[in-house]
Amino acid sequence: MTSQPQRPAFGTVLTSHMAVATYKDGHWSRSELNPVAPLNLSPAAHVLHYSSTCFEGFKAFRRKDGSIHVFRMDRHIQRMRQSARQLVLPEPDAQQLAEMVRGLIDKSRDAVPEAPGALYLRPILFGTSANIGAAATPTTEAMLIVLASPVWDYFAGGMKPLRILVDDVNTRSAAQMGMVKTGGNYAAALGPTLSARAKHQVDQVLFCPGGEVQETGAANFFLIRQGELLTRSLDATFLHGVTRDSLLTLGRDMGYSVSERVFNVQEMLEWARTGEAALSGTAAVLAGVGTLIHRGTEYPVGNGDVGPLTRALRAQLVAIQQGDAPDRHGWLEQI
């Protein structure tokens, strides 16, 4: 057996450049590609006091022939604009942001790892007006930056089944903010997630306020069994994952009957006796859940391992992303 080379942890390495645009006097500046460097930011910047910030995360893949393809960038830009609107931040122009991403990928071409690695793209938007009295006033100035980070296989050590704490008390975010990709939501989920890790040795917390299954701190939740896929229907309480949407589309293509509806913890535990459960997101694609822990009791999902349907769905999406299966839905753009 060959040993895996030691790879940096996800997100810890940036490429040399970043794309930057600023908003002032009602319009966006031309964007620039600059070397990655610390920012010149007022300590009174709106974002530092009132958390006026949102971000995105998506990937570009290198194929065997060396060409580079970005996955569903339009959807991520759409979601970023929706987050900006919800936070009363200036909306990035969709075409300008797409050009910033394309330019950065092109500049970072040599840094895109081979599959199963990828180039992770991270646009961030934040309010920069210098005013510490602006709790109830939107920022009038903002900065839009796109960073790029080479990432390697999330499952380099093998796909381990996840242990998940089912939390039917805490919420991940304020109800109307779940669909907004903003840092405050991650800060809010961190405390419950760390305490669950310490107490129950779990990987993640599945937030189920009032007993309704929502999502984990950074991924959507799926129930899977032969011919059936179930996930929560879209509402403002959770992030509308692009991977979620892609898997639902692929599921339909593969003949699954797909249900998007509200379901509760009892139904999930019942399903888990014979079915499969998984988390979906850009980083992990589709990660199998092996154990659910609810009110002190451990419930194995199926036989406690990553299920075969989860593996097959994941493999199908990865094959499309890496150019090994046809892109029937026009999800990839060559850069």
Contact residues for ligand PLP, defined by CB under 6 A: 57, 215, 218-220, 239, 241-244, 280-282
Q: How far is the CB of 156 from ligand PLP (least distance, A)?
A: 19
CB-nearer residue toward ligand PLP: 280 or 291: 280
| Residue reference for tokens 């830009």 | 77
d(CA 249, CA 42): 45
Handedness of CA 245, 248, 252, 254 (dihedral sign): positive
Please, which residue, 51 or 140, has the CB nearer to ligand PLP? 51
CB of 193 to ligand PLP, least distance (A): 11
Give the 3-state secondary structure of residue 77.
helix
> 225 has which bridge partners?
228
Q: Which is nearer to ligand PLP, 23 or 222 (CB)?
A: 222
CA distances from 53 to 9, 221, 329 (A): 24, 25, 31
| CB of 100 or CB of 239, closer to ligand PLP | 239
* CA-to-CA separations, 77 to 14, 58, 99, 236, in angstroms, rounded: 21, 10, 11, 18
Q: Report the Cα 40 to chain-centroid distance in Å.
A: 28
Smallest distance, ligand PLP to C-beta of residue 233, A: 15
**Residue type for 314, please?**
R
Closest approach of Cβ 241 to ligand PLP, in Å?
A: 3
Q: Which of 131, 245, 127, 231 is nearest to 183 (CA)?
A: 127
Q: Which CB sits closer to ligand PLP, 163 or 244?
A: 244
Pick the closer one to ligand PLP by CB: 203 or 215. Answer: 215
Least CB distance from residue 245 to ligand PLP, whole Å? Answer: 8
> 45 or 189: whose CB is closer to ligand PLP?
189
Q: Is 96 exposed, middle or buried (0-12, 13-18, 19+ CB in 10 A)?
A: middle
Q: What residues pair up with 167 in beta bridges, in sequence order?
A: 207
Least distance CB 180 / ligand PLP (angstroms):
10
In Å, what is the CA distance from 244 to each residue of 67, 154, 279, 290, 330?
26, 18, 9, 19, 16
Residues 6+ positions from 87 with CB-CB distance below 8 Å? 52, 53, 54, 180, 182
Distances (CA, A) of 287 to 155, 166, 227, 241: 9, 16, 19, 14
| Least distance between ligand PLP and beta carbon 244 (Å) | 6
Shortest distance (Å) from residue 84 CB to ligand PLP: 16
